[in-house]
Chains A and B, each alone.
Chain A
């Protein structure tokens, strides 16, 4: 058996052993809901259709926005999934009282859901590339921002999931977050249409900050250098800062107070 001294050395560091196996479990679970994977695109497609009819010149921006929005909503699914596993199945107890660390448990749920719901997002990226013909730099920026927005949303979703004891209460909050972060700020529409006085707010919210950075990569000069720094910093700090907080929170909430 492991002696205390052996385990003490790096106990504060995040440990993700078993995360791929648990993500594979979650992926199998999600793949049984194939229809849900495709209906996850309904909002994006509806908004794209509206934009294509009402303001076709913004269609490219809306396409990039739809990808960012998808990354956010994909991360947000962790809120429902983690709460469902805990409230309806009590399987959190099975997995948390095991060698799988709480942070690996959280990330396993997030990665499993991410992989299951990724194919339609890849479809959107392919369409965006066909329409916009964006350069490699934009493609790399897009990939990085998608991962950052997903990590932010997944972390937020996991933390919030630990606060609920009733699935019905979650649905309304999930919907609120979805609209507050993804629909209201300039994710699907140009940053220029957002009130100028609230521009810093849009650049601080990770989804709209990511969308602004993408819009700027297609239309250089849209953002002033300090604004680029603000948006990039907001996305980075929100994603990785909240992820680290979630690692801490996953450990803390694994043992109820």
Chain B
């Protein structure tokens, strides 16, 4: 489909530094993002999420493979892709000697918007990011979360057809994160398409229509949060810290996911009493909760999302 917002086929990226070993950052990533979707790349730090996003955003050339944005090749026709996109870079910071209002307004002007449109869009984005109170303070005086919200406001104000957001809510407090999520939902309702990277499981679950779990430069699985959780094989998770020595016993109750010395067991409600009884007998604590995306991630990747990728 030529006008798909994003289409990637067998994308590979190899970094071959003059010194040190070669790094296979992407090993054949294929994906598509449909119009109006919010899609998340979920993975550990170093999994390859940012590399893919930078390639799709015309900022990095792939070693091989093909990426098209609205039918244009991101390598050969980057100049046709760039007017259609906007990017929140990972760890990007606004100009310290501009205010959030100036940052958003001047960015929109540099994208070719008229003064009136830039002003109106800027004010709406600042309000959506709850930056109105600090809109005239120099960015250097803002907190880390406020600076990040300024970056997000700058990008959502563009109303670009395809937005790339690399860890957009990093450093934000929970309320601010929810504000960002709501703004992104509003944007897709208005017709934009969003590809974001995150290593926050709750963010992926709350925000994304579809997820790609990325590990060591490969897409391991794709689906909705609901389908990924269904594939875990139970509805409850029993977490037993220091339960590694009981792994074999616990395996008889359901799927066991080791996480260091901690063991997570995915069970159906009918066997809950039995497994808690074992924990009590062994003088171990055990906690019970619903299966979340964390279990799905552990099942697919085999490690916690908080572990650094090797």
Contact = CB atoms under 8 A, between A and B. Distances in A.
Given A25-B107, A90-B91, A255-B78, A99 B83 contact: yes
B132 interface: no
Contacts of A33: 97
B84 A18 contact: no
Q: Which of B86, B89, B96, B161 is packed against the most chain A CB atoms within 10 Å?
A: B89
A101 B79 contact: yes
A56 B72 CA distance: 65
Contact of B87 (A17, A24, A93): A93
B205 to A, nearest CB: 27
A6 to B, nearest CB: 9
Contacts of A168: none
Which among A33, A96, A98 has the highest number of chain B CB atoms within 10 Å?
A98
B58 A255 contact: yes
Interface string A145-180: 000000000000000000000000000000000000
Interface stretch (B109-117, B176-184, B194-202, B207-215): B109-117
- Bin the interface of chain A by size: 20 to 34
Interface residues of B, number: 46
Contacts of B83: 2, 98-99
B82 interface: yes
Nearest to A17: B112
A122 interface: no
A29 interface: yes
Interface of B: 3, 54, 57-61, 70-72, 75, 77-80, 82-98, 102, 106-107, 109-112, 138, 151, 154-155, 158, 161, 164
23 contacts: A1-B161, A18-B110, A22-B110, A25-B102, A28-B106, A29-B98, A89-B96, A90-B91, A91-B92, A91-B94, A93-B92, A94-B88, A94-B107, A94-B151, A97-B85, A97-B86, A98-B107, A99-B111, A99-B112, A254-B58, A254-B78, A256-B54, A256-B59
